[in-house]
Structure 1
Amino acid sequence: MVRELQRDLDRAEGPIYAERHVRIICVGAGASGLCLAYKLQRSFQNFSLVIYEKNKEISGTWYENRYPGCACDVPSHNYTWSFEPKHNWSAVYAQSSEIYQYFNDFADKYSLRKYVHCNQAVIGARWDESNGGYHVQVKNGNTGELEEAFCDILINAGGILNAWRWPDIPGLKEFKGPLLHSADWDDTVDLKGKHVGLIGNGSSGIQILPAILPSVSHITTFVRSPAWISPVRGLDQHVFSAEEVASFANEPEKLLEYRKANEDGINSLWPLYVRGTDMQKAARKAMLKQMQLKLQGSGLEDKLIPSWSVGCRRLTPGINYLESLSHEKVTVVNGDITCITDKGPRDSDGNDHTIDVLVCATGFDTSFRPRFPIIGSSGTNLQDEWAQEAKGYMGIAAPNFPNYFLFLGPNCPIGNGPVLAAIEFQADYMLQFINRWQTENIHSFVPKVDATEDFIKYTDSVMQKTVWSEECRSWYKSNSSTGRVSALWPGSSLHYMEAIREARFDDYEIKYSGNRFAWMGNGSSQTELDATCDWSYYIRLKDDSPYASRRMQRQVLTKSGSTDGRSKTSFWKFE
């Protein structure tokens, strides 16, 4: 009570909305963490930000993933921040090294490295109710020492496709040859002339196989389940010519037009994920035709072409993957692996496969369960609460964990459309709370339990209409076939952007330190204390004030009427 009274007295000495210093800790210096740093630096002054990064360098998954053929499955010119284009991408689908460089250049351009502490891993966080913040434990990777820091607001930007894991196959460690994981690639292992075993046909596996095929003596690839594999995003791989790169550099409007056309196409795909739509039917017909054509004569059609709908699992271009399966140097083994011997995998028919090198392209822990203990206001650990199923609020927060946000949390639009744009909107959402915390005497904010439950009920009802809820094994459903769709947003990315553009503060339990009106200060306005501003700014020739209705606000924001209503799917036809 004494502390709260003192805070009221302090605020009473200043003008309305006096800013207090806000201390923020962010976990992870990948795309999300760097976006937060940029936006915070752009809009705020009285703050401190520390980003703890477990790796030796920044860029997150694009630093970690270095396997042969590693690339983004989104057109490169659209895998950028909305405000930060790059004119000299080498190809439509850029290699991971280029994307890694993009985020490094972004950090350098805006001087973001000063916030980042590399090779320091957060190993725990505990909410302190009396002080309204988190005590964060950090392990220094250079010294091994444990340190502790305090923050008012904790943000987890650790990512969803980041915590890689070995497959749960008996005897894996018995294998005598080199054992590689796609997300922890060892460049010192030479694959030239080797017989390589490849486990997995997800995004990583279908990139690795054609990339290593020219140099190895043979590949035995183990495929457990079918998958729709085709450049369905409508843009085949293409290496940009010197003339095209120069054009993008010298004609910014031309590059903007190209980016917007691609983005329009990506944002048109929501009907693809809804059962029974014309787009879903057309996509299935077109992709079936493409896969049958590419697999013709291989005898693999029945094993690799799914029965479930297009999009039930994440779509991946799979450049040259299907064609490579018919190569004389490739053997496809369909079904489960029962165990690994010292010589290689044993398949479900009891056949032993002798190989030189074993590559596991078996993905990540996509449970959304934090990789370190986070103890909330109820004394419970978020790791325990989300051990079986992650149930968060709007893909960005969790009940019982005050002053805590996470990027790309459960039920976020990670597979619904442009993900970097969604990250930007999430950062903007967080800044709304940071702004209120800084200019009001807020002690804590946390999503209400009933609001979170209502959000989950709504999400589950929408998911029943989508192809994601069909019976296919997917990380969208915690690597199950029939579980709850916990990874994706119940709508398009554009839908998500509109949903979180303005925070619903009534969905939060907000506690104040002292009198909730202490933010009003001593009766002075910020305006009259600034001698350089217009003290009669509201006197004008015409009404140019923001529109009050959501409809009009949206029309102005999205430039409604600026196009002729043409089709937005010119790049995304399924034929």
Structure 2
Amino acid sequence: MADFLVPKDVSPDLQGPRRLDGPIHAERHVNIICVGAGASGLLMTYKLQKHFSNFSLTVFEKNPEVSGTWFENRYPGCACDVPSHNYTWSFEPKLDWTGVYSSSKEIFQYFDSFANKYGLKNYIKTEHQVTGAYWNDRTGGYDVKVRDTKNGQQFSQHCDILINASGILNNWRWPAIPGLQKYKGTLLHTANWDDNVDLTGKHVGLIGNGSSGIQVLPKIQPIVDKVTTFIREPTWVSPVQGLEQHVYSAEEQKDFAQKPGVLTEYRKNIERGLNGQFGIFLKDTKPNNDTHDYMMDQMHQKLQNQYLEERLIPKWSVGCRRLTPGVGYLESLGKENVKTVYGEINEITEKGCLCDDGNEYPVDILICATGFDTTFKPRFPLIGPGGVNLQEQWKDDPHSYLGMAADGFPNYLIFLGPNSPIGNGPVLCAIEAQADYMLKLIDRYQTRNIKTFAPTKSAINDFIAHKDEFMKKSVWADPCRSWYKQGPDGPITALWPGSALHYIEAIREVQIEDWDIKYSGNRFAWMGNGYSQTELDNTADWGYYIRDRDDDPPATTGGKRKVLSKSGTMKGNAGINFAGVKDEAPVPERANL
């Protein structure tokens, strides 16, 4: 068979005619560059290695280690707000998570071990930062500019297909407050944490009550002399019922490791619960109203402070901003050594923060838990045909095709691009679905004589119109300030118009009519010399289609879904809560969403 494969050094312009010498679907060489070795980049590397041959792959990672945000974020209390046993690949469980919500260190170890187990680091160049990618019309690919950050050298490498797996929570930013550089104390950012700084016995200022600030406060409060936390807006904070923090006992970990099916069923129950609660994000549904009432009650109980309750409990819907478990956060606000300053910081002074209440608050150490640049524009110039820069095209309102591609930028794929399900439910399952979709596209590219593929502008326009209409009935449209959207009343650019399961089913098949495909020569050159690859394989069954019964898989979308979801095997999911535990009564509204 090797004689019929297109050699690596054959130019793309010759690949069409060259295919006439080989059998149908001959697998030409495909050269891929992936930007980023976080979770998405590692998964894509794993899947390419598992499923493809006759390819080359280079993954450029700017950090000295893999795992992306879980390598970068090391601040006290840093953890994931998704239950640990469900923050793994569907096929790669971890037996010994310490608790329901695990630290960033544990999560880093999971992804690092995954890379080591499958030899993924053979493809990865760490401390190599992509500084630009430029479309080469002659070759039908990208010339990617890279800087070796260890020695400062720069070079260029070509690829047929460019995959951006750099993520969105990786470009941290200082707060836009005047005078930040005047401050003479110790200045820290949660995403650029200095482990050498000792907070013990210090007066610490903490800016922000997003996910990072909520995690930091309970960890530092017991060791510092005093914390002054600066909060400018309310947010919903409380563990979701059924998924409170829990440290696994030695017996539980033993059962997970040694009793067949115990861990799988535990993981499935949590996933069923997570996937059964999409109604929380839709206005005026029973799941949304019940969650609102539960969280309202929890915040009142844990704050026990009328001043804080009036300012920290939102008027907008639960879920408008990302829900954060906030283990111990609300209780920490009531500790004697914690002072909450609510309002705007007008200026950073040499000593601390000057706020809109007219007071200056001096602190020894100032921690900025102010998050990331969450725009979706690439972190490097991405220049497509005609010199168009995607950074400019996406600077105000990014429009992607199903969160994975951009019109006018051929052979370019994105993980967790605009309007992906990053706040709608389990996210790693969505990354897996995106990777599988990309594999289908790459397979078509490799086995047909395709030169370029890109989504059509009309397909993206229709998708955006559908998305915008759907979002009107979601809680995300409420006037809260969230990185999900462009301003309190702006379009929702981060989230998918549906549940995580909805997304998985939406992208299970490539809707090829949405793609602008261009070929090298005759589009049917992939038919080759008339031979099937099967009849050139002496180890294959040349009569594989002769059977004694009809065992064809379902031919319809609905039939395929029922087989995959094992429809008919469950007694009923309607009353399953977040932890996968059956409620007393089903939720009738869920069936009517």
Q: TM-score over 0.5 for the alignment?
A: yes
- Give the one of 206, 210, 218 matched to 1:198: 206
User: Hey, what's the Cα distance between the residues in 1 that align with 2:276 and 2:288?
Assistant: 12
Farther off after superposition, 377-386 or 18-27:
377-386
Map 1:59-74 to 2 at 5 A. 59-74=67-82
Q: Tell me whether 1:293 sits opposite 2:301 in the alignment.
A: yes
Is the 2:344–2:356 Cα contact (8 Å) retained in structure 1? yes
Other-structure match for 1:240: 248
SS in 1 for 2:57: strand
Please state how far the C-alpha of 1:342 moved relative to its aligned partner.
Answer: 0.4
Q: Tell me whether 1:370 sits opposite 2:384 in the alignment.
A: no
- Give the one of 316, 330, 346 matched to 2:338: 330
Please state how far the C-alpha of 1:533 moved relative to its aligned partner.
Answer: 1.2
Is the 1:180–1:359 Cα contact (8 Å) retained in structure 2? yes
The alpha-carbon distance between structure 1 residues 153 and 4, as it changes in their structure 2 partners (threshold 3 A), is closer
Farther off after superposition, 373-382 or 25-34:
373-382
SS in 1 for 2:451: strand
Please state how far the C-alpha of 1:4 moved relative to its aligned partner.
Answer: 7.4
Is the 1:412–1:488 Cα contact (8 Å) retained in structure 2? yes
Other-structure match for 1:48: 56
User: Hey, what's the Cα distance between the residues in 2 that align with 1:3 and 1:231?
Assistant: 56
Can you list the C-alpha shifts for 1:413-462, whole angstroms capped at 9, x where unaligned?
00001100000000001011110111111000001011100000000000
Map 1:18-33 to 2 at 5 A. 18-33=26-41
Please state how far the C-alpha of 1:7 moved relative to its aligned partner.
Answer: 3.0
Please state how far the C-alpha of 1:566 moved relative to its aligned partner.
Answer: 4.1
Is the 1:77–1:85 Cα contact (8 Å) retained in structure 2? yes
Please state how far the C-alpha of 1:388 moved relative to its aligned partner.
Answer: 1.1
User: Hey, what's the Cα distance between the residues in 2 that align with 1:386 and 1:33?
Assistant: 22
Other-structure match for 1:520: 527
User: Hey, what's the Cα distance between the residues in 1 that align with 2:543 and 2:127?
Assistant: 52
Is the 2:282–2:473 Cα contact (8 Å) retained in structure 1? yes
Other-structure match for 2:5: none
Please state how far the C-alpha of 1:233 moved relative to its aligned partner.
Answer: 5.5
Please state how far the C-alpha of 1:180 moved relative to its aligned partner.
Answer: 0.5
SS in 1 for 2:392: helix
Can you list the C-alpha shifts for 1:80-125, whole angstroms capped at 9, x where unaligned?
0000001100001001100000001100111100000000000000
- Give the one of 288, 310, 323 matched to 1:302: 310
Please state how far the C-alpha of 1:8 moved relative to its aligned partner.
Answer: 3.4
Map 1:204-353 to 2 at 5 A. 204-232=212-240, 234-297=242-305, 299-353=307-361
Q: Tell me whether 1:88 sits opposite 2:96 in the alignment.
A: yes
Please state how far the C-alpha of 1:160 moved relative to its aligned partner.
Answer: 1.1
User: Hey, what's the Cα distance between the residues in 1 that align with 2:131 and 2:484?
Assistant: 26
Other-structure match for 2:429: 421
Is the 2:64–2:127 Cα contact (8 Å) retained in structure 1? yes
Is the 1:271–1:280 Cα contact (8 Å) retained in structure 2? yes
Other-structure match for 1:407: 415
Q: Tell me whether 1:383 sits opposite 2:391 in the alignment.
A: yes
AA of the residue aligned to 1:245 = Q
Is the 1:4–1:514 Cα contact (8 Å) retained in structure 2? no
User: Hey, what's the Cα distance between the residues in 2 that align with 1:4 and 1:531?
Assistant: 30
Q: What is the number of equivalent residue pairs in this alignment?
A: 573
Q: Tell me whether 1:509 sits opposite 2:516 in the alignment.
A: yes
AA of the residue aligned to 1:510 = I
SS in 2 for 1:252: coil
Q: Tell me whether 1:394 sits opposite 2:434 in the alignment.
A: no
Please state how far the C-alpha of 1:162 moved relative to its aligned partner.
Answer: 1.1
Please state how far the C-alpha of 1:142 moved relative to its aligned partner.
Answer: 1.1
Q: Tell me whether 1:149 sits opposite 2:157 in the alignment.
A: yes
Other-structure match for 1:165: 173
- Give the one of 564, 568, 575 matched to 2:571: 564
Is the 1:264–1:568 Cα contact (8 Å) retained in structure 2? no
Please state how far the C-alpha of 1:251 moved relative to its aligned partner.
Answer: 1.4
SS in 2 for 1:70: coil
- Give the one of 337, 359, 363 matched to 2:367: 359
AA of the residue aligned to 1:466 = S
The alpha-carbon distance between structure 1 residues 198 and 398, as it changes in their structure 2 partners (threshold 3 A), is same
User: Hey, what's the Cα distance between the residues in 2 that align with 1:4 and 1:149?
Assistant: 16
User: Hey, what's the Cα distance between the residues in 1 that align with 2:153 and 2:217?
Assistant: 41
Other-structure match for 2:555: 548
Per the normalisation by structure 1, the TM-score is 0.98
User: Hey, what's the Cα distance between the residues in 1 that align with 2:542 and 2:43?
Assistant: 34
SS in 1 for 2:196: coil
Q: Percent identity?
A: 59
User: Hey, what's the Cα distance between the residues in 2 that align with 1:181 and 1:451?
Assistant: 40
AA of the residue aligned to 2:226 = H
Is the 1:265–1:568 Cα contact (8 Å) retained in structure 2? no
User: Hey, what's the Cα distance between the residues in 1 that align with 2:448 and 2:292?
Assistant: 53
User: Hey, what's the Cα distance between the residues in 2 that align with 1:244 and 1:570?
Assistant: 21
Is the 1:233–1:317 Cα contact (8 Å) retained in structure 2? no
Unaligned runs of 5+ in 2: 1-9, 585-593
AA of the residue aligned to 2:212 = S
- Give the one of 81, 84, 101 matched to 2:109: 101
Query: What RMSD in Å do the two structures reach over aligned CA positions?
Result: 1.4
SS in 1 for 2:362: coil
User: Hey, what's the Cα distance between the residues in 2 that align with 1:178 and 1:390?
Assistant: 37
Please state how far the C-alpha of 1:60 moved relative to its aligned partner.
Answer: 0.2
Please state how far the C-alpha of 1:522 moved relative to its aligned partner.
Answer: 0.3
Is the 1:444–1:511 Cα contact (8 Å) retained in structure 2? yes
Unaligned runs of 5+ in 1: none
Other-structure match for 1:451: 459
Is the 1:295–1:326 Cα contact (8 Å) retained in structure 2? yes
User: Hey, what's the Cα distance between the residues in 2 that align with 1:209 and 1:569?
Assistant: 33
Please state how far the C-alpha of 1:535 moved relative to its aligned partner.
Answer: 0.8
Per the normalisation by structure 2, the TM-score is 0.95
Other-structure match for 2:144: 136
Q: Tell me whether 1:537 sits opposite 2:536 in the alignment.
A: no
